[in-house]
Structure 1
Amino acid sequence: MGNRVVVAGVGMVPFATPRRSEPYDVLAEGAVTAALADAGLGLDRVQQAYAGYVYGDSTSGQHALYRVGMTGIPVLNVNNNCSTGSSALFLARQAVASGAAECVLAFGFEQMRRGALKAQWDDRPSAFARFDEVLDAVGGQVDADVPMAPRYFGAAGTAYCDRYGMDPAVFAQVAVKARRHAAHNPYAVFTEQVTVDEVLGSPRVFGPLTRLQCCPPTCGAAAAVVVSEDFARRHGLRRDVVVAAQAMTTDTSSSFGGDPMALVGYDMTKAAAGQVYEAAAIGPEDLDVVELHDCFTTNEVLSYEALGLTPEGTAEKFIADGGNTYGGRVVTNPSGGLLSKGHPLGATGLAQCAELVWQLRGEAGPRQVDGATVALQHNIGLGGAAVVTVYVKAS
């Protein structure tokens, strides 16, 4: 893995609710076209493409890319639940780093339906059967009407509060921060400001989670063009944002040991973060900006500690001190995150990539983090996979 990997171009389209969205292929075309234009390349220069989506038929990636052009390159479709976009990026980065290709496209898209996530197949073993068994044993069975994802992440939030004595109302402050950041993001779905009282007063979903603490079903697309440094130099491309390290982890037996926090990816995240810190020769104290997987307010809090942004059990103080926002220790989710920008599953990881590239370039407009030179991306998918990536501004 000797080749230095440069992010030459990124692009995305504004995210939207299902009732307001274009079809997935139109969304993907917009994101890919934007990323190629940002890189200053035509599709004819791309040697491989990885297409990420969760809900769609096989070869939807080819169908979407064909709207941009048909060049005969390999197109591989990727599905890793909510970490799908980052998984596509992981494969693209790996292809360049290994020397298998010099210019690779990763793109992700999702055309979601209204309502909570649910299993699509009831005639075969569920990928979440083991997860359900653990949660049933820990917290007892609940009403079947409770959606799957809020049940997992709500239980994890309750476990955190029980362990560290935190008032569950603290989670609501994360939703308020997300809306405040999203107000400056033209790609975000929800930009209206909310108060803690409004968040807590919204309909209860499960455990400490209310509706305004859950990410919305969203449609959208995002893309990135990754190239070798030598390719960028030969073609006169910008080389100012480099992937310093990247790691993907999956579940170990600890995920199913009875701790709801581990069940939703805490241990996977911690392991992946440790790997990238070591590989990039940095620590969490070196980070300027982070895009992390805030599918629920509870998971943003858990992720602060799994990523080492603050010691275990100190998230409440970290939030109270403003350590997670502008002027604080590290700016988390300047885009508004999944909670406010939206969470089209296949696109999320690549939208995080786009935001961090803009931040490191100094192109994030009113949401710019001053002097950002080191950025971290964190994307998880239950079932499971965690992808953590460190980007640096090249000197």
Structure 2
Amino acid sequence: MTRKVVVAGVGMVPFKKPGTSETYDLMGAEAARLALADAGVAYQAIQQAYACFVYGDSTAGQRALYHVGMTGLPIINVNNNCSTGSTGLFLARQAIEAGALDVALVVGFEQMNPGALGSYFNDRPLPSDLFLKQCDRLGVPAEIPPALRIFGGAGMEHMKRFGTPLESFAKIRAKASRHAANNPLAVFRKVMTAEDVMADQVMWPGVMTRLMACPPTCGAAAAVLCSEDFAKKHGLDTRVWIAAQALTTDGLESLEGDDLRDVAGFSMAENAARQVYEAAGIGAEDVNVVELHDCFAHNELITYEALGLCPEGGAAKFIDDGDNTYGGRYVVNPSGGLLSKGHPLGATGLAQCTELVQQLRGTAGERQVQGARVALQHNVGIGGACVVTMYRN
């Protein structure tokens, strides 16, 4: 038997540009306090905590949570690249569902440096090397920065296969800015047009401008998960619960196939989404609101299709029809997404969770998706891991 897992509380601090935020431990502690207060749970009641970060020393989770309290509880540090925050949620949900815990705290944080992502361990094989070799084999120019090669390559593949115009990615970026304008926690709130995006600095001719990529960001977010029985016993909010969740890693197609979309996690997302729909007993057509991993506008576009929001090859029409925003079939990334809200790696999955819980509670203010009852979350990390989560009210 499994138990119903409730998201009893969420919290998030404003995301900021590198060099303008507090240190990771203070941000993480504040997000944890906000989630605990939102849930109405004392830290002393938490039975286990998962601390999620990518760029940090060992036991950085303890450093952050010791500001909240020192109760001797187990604190598990989690690193799964950009899907780290959602991996923490997966672990907590799994433990509660199995009956090992009644209540857990998941916190994610990142204190990032400006500029492109890099590695601090250059004296040993890099996990990303396998994916960059696949980019080499499939003809992606070597002079392009690594993350752009992977995600820009996926977009280039879609353009080649389906005739997708560059403007489709620009329209995604413009949509993100319109949504973020209503999010006080987003790092970028300036509204821009698709024409503004197209006119920005070219990073890869014919494939990408600078505005189509998300910026490095500092921030933190957190969630309190518990069993439905625990929530009812303590008078907690039981409205939002995890209906299904899947964590997948790469299949052979990511490194041996002939499709650059798979290098960026398309097949992982497709596999995870299929598992989630089967477990929940409902499909993409029942979803109202989506937070997905738009680290590049290109990844948002291919993820529409991986999640079954539109047919394969149908993303450009999906965008042109307005089916990714208010008034359309779905509202995708009402928070502004990674492109405008920001992407502090360890916090991203928990920030997505925070947005979707608020949407399902009906407390998202100007961003509210009317009548939202089913929400879908997609969080991916190259190397690789993908977590897809369905929340319901």
User: Which TM bucket (shorter chain)?
Assistant: over 0.9
1:232 is aligned to 2:220: no
**Aligned match of 1:315:** 315
**Aligned match of 1:55:** 55
**Aligned match of 2:346:** 346
1:85·1:346 contact (CA, 8 Å) conserved in 2?
yes
**Aligned match of 1:215:** 214
**1:99-118 matches, cutoff 5 A:** 99-118=99-118
The counterpart of 2:184, out of the listed 183, 186, 190, is 186
**Aligned match of 2:71:** 71
Q: 1 CA distance for matches of 2:190 and 2:18?
A: 18
Moved more, 189-198 or 71-80: 189-198
Q: Which AA in structure 1 matches 2:186?
A: A
Q: Which runs of 5+ in 1 are unaligned?
A: none
Q: CA deviation at 1:140?
A: 4.8
The counterpart of 1:205, out of the listed 203, 206, 211, is 203
Q: Report the identity percentage.
A: 59
Aligned residue for 1:378, secondary structure, equals strand
**Aligned match of 1:361:** 361
Q: 2 CA distance for matches of 1:60 and 1:367?
A: 33
Q: 1 CA distance for matches of 2:168 and 2:325?
A: 15
Q: 2 CA distance for matches of 1:281 and 1:181?
A: 30
Aligned residue for 1:300, secondary structure, equals helix
Q: Which AA in structure 2 matches 1:341?
A: K
Q: Which runs of 5+ in 2 are unaligned?
A: none
**Aligned match of 2:251:** 252
Q: CA deviation at 1:188?
A: 0.2
Q: Which AA in structure 1 matches 2:251?
A: T
Q: 2 CA distance for matches of 1:122 and 1:28?
A: 28
2:141·2:149 contact (CA, 8 Å) conserved in 1?
no
**1:112-191 matches, cutoff 5 A:** 112-143=112-143, 146-191=144-189
1:151·1:206 contact (CA, 8 Å) conserved in 2?
no
Q: CA deviation at 1:111?
A: 0.1
1:219·1:343 contact (CA, 8 Å) conserved in 2?
yes
Superposed CA deviations along residues 117-144 of structure 1, whole A, max 9, x for unmatched, are 012211101101211111001115422x
Moved more, 342-351 or 117-126: 117-126
Q: CA deviation at 1:259?
A: 1.4
**Aligned match of 2:301:** 301
Q: CA deviation at 1:196?
A: 1.3
**Aligned match of 2:26:** 26
Q: 2 CA distance for matches of 1:38 and 1:70?
A: 20
Q: Which AA in structure 2 matches 1:334?
A: P
Q: Which AA in structure 2 matches 1:107?
A: V
Q: CA deviation at 1:358?
A: 0.2
Superposed CA deviations along residues 242-291 of structure 1, whole A, max 9, x for unmatched, are 10000000001011113110000000000000000000000100000000
Q: CA deviation at 1:99?
A: 0.5
TM-score normalised over the length of structure 1: 0.98
Q: Specify whether residues 351 and 312 from structure 1 end up closer, same or farther in structure 2 by C-alpha distance, changes over 3 A only.
A: same
Q: 2 CA distance for matches of 1:141 and 1:213?
A: 18
Q: 2 CA distance for matches of 1:141 and 1:325?
A: 33
TM-score normalised over the length of structure 2: 0.98
Aligned residue for 2:29, secondary structure, equals helix
1:4·1:229 contact (CA, 8 Å) conserved in 2?
yes
Superposed CA deviations along residues 195-250 of structure 1, whole A, max 9, x for unmatched, are 11211111112351111110000000000000000000111111000100000000
1:183·1:192 contact (CA, 8 Å) conserved in 2?
yes
Aligned residue for 2:376, secondary structure, equals strand
Q: Which AA in structure 1 matches 2:55?
A: Y
Aligned residue for 2:166, secondary structure, equals coil
Q: 2 CA distance for matches of 1:100 and 1:249?
A: 22
Superposed CA deviations along residues 54-93 of structure 1, whole A, max 9, x for unmatched, are 0000000001000000110000000000000000110011
2:375·2:392 contact (CA, 8 Å) conserved in 1?
yes
**Aligned match of 2:2:** 2
**Aligned match of 1:35:** 35
Q: 2 CA distance for matches of 1:196 and 1:359?
A: 26
Q: CA deviation at 1:364?
A: 0.1
Q: 2 CA distance for matches of 1:232 and 1:122?
A: 46
Q: 2 CA distance for matches of 1:21 and 1:238?
A: 31
Q: 1 CA distance for matches of 2:320 and 2:141?
A: 34
**Aligned match of 1:83:** 83
Q: CA deviation at 1:352?
A: 0.2
- Please list every run of at least 4 consecutive aligned residues from structure 1 whose deviation after the TM superposition is greater than 3 angstroms: none
1:117·1:147 contact (CA, 8 Å) conserved in 2?
no
2:140·2:149 contact (CA, 8 Å) conserved in 1?
no
Count of aligned positions: 391
Moved more, 164-173 or 289-298: 164-173
